Amino acid sequence: MVNFSDFEKKTKITFKDKKLLTQAFIHRSYINENPSTGLSHNERLEFLGDAVLELIVTDFLYKKYSSYAEGELTALRSALVNAVIISEIASHIGMNDFLLLSKGEAKDMGKARQYILANTYEAYVGAVYLDQGYDVVDKFVIKTLLPKTEEIVNKKLWRDAKSLVQEKAQEFVNVTPSYKVTHESGPDHDKHFTVGIYFDKALIAEGKGKSKQEAEQKAAENALKLKNWLD
């Protein structure tokens, strides 16, 4: 079994209930492969952690951005509490080294791992909330996730790039952008896509991602930067 005391030292959060800490890192596949352990997977903790995380982020944004309207706050929260950002944070604080997965899941380092890491972060938030209370989990989220807020606001990543580029393209050049996959690579479980954004037949910019949607968003962001339409 994984030694979670190393993770406790890293986060400086020492659990009273060590089983709760372990459960936060247990993926369903591990239980399916090891049914006799008597352990539970982390999905109930993830359910709780998702709600706790949303409250912490909402409270933080409400207080910090007092001039933002409800729609802007909602978009900013969505940009923070999404699988890509949360999995980056989970990976940064070393959660990947403590995951309890089936042998098959342990080999897959593609998009599936990204979602597992994001779900584990949420499950851990739920576990900290149960074991340590709101103040401790609030400090943990503020320290790990919320520093991303400045980058998201400064780069205007909270605005949906595809919607914004469509609005600007119609306003300035009277066209509706279209998207086309220009390249894809990798096995089925770890695909990488390159997508081009076109104004009529002209290729304006390209974006890369692990899904077509992600690559389209990146292409839209790159087109906005290229056209200087971000402000």
Catalytic positions: 50, 122
Residues 6+ apart with CB under 8 A from 158: 72, 75, 76, 78, 79, 152
The string of DSSP codes covering 180-223 is EEEEEES-GGG-EEEEEEEETTEEEEEEEESSHHHHHHHHHHHH
Angle at 76 between CA 49 and CA 213, to 5 degrees: 90
Which residue in the block uniquely carries the two structure tokens 């209370």? 133
Sheet holding 178-185, edge to edge: 178-185, 192-199, 202-209
What does the block give as tokens for 222?
């790159």
Which residue in the block uniquely carries the two structure tokens 């469509």? 166
CA distances from 207 to 1, 69, 139, 224 (A): 41, 30, 35, 12
Q: What residue type is assigned to position 206 of the chain?
A: E
CA distances from 165 to 169, 176, 229 (A): 6, 9, 8
109 HSE (CA, 13 A, CB side)? 5
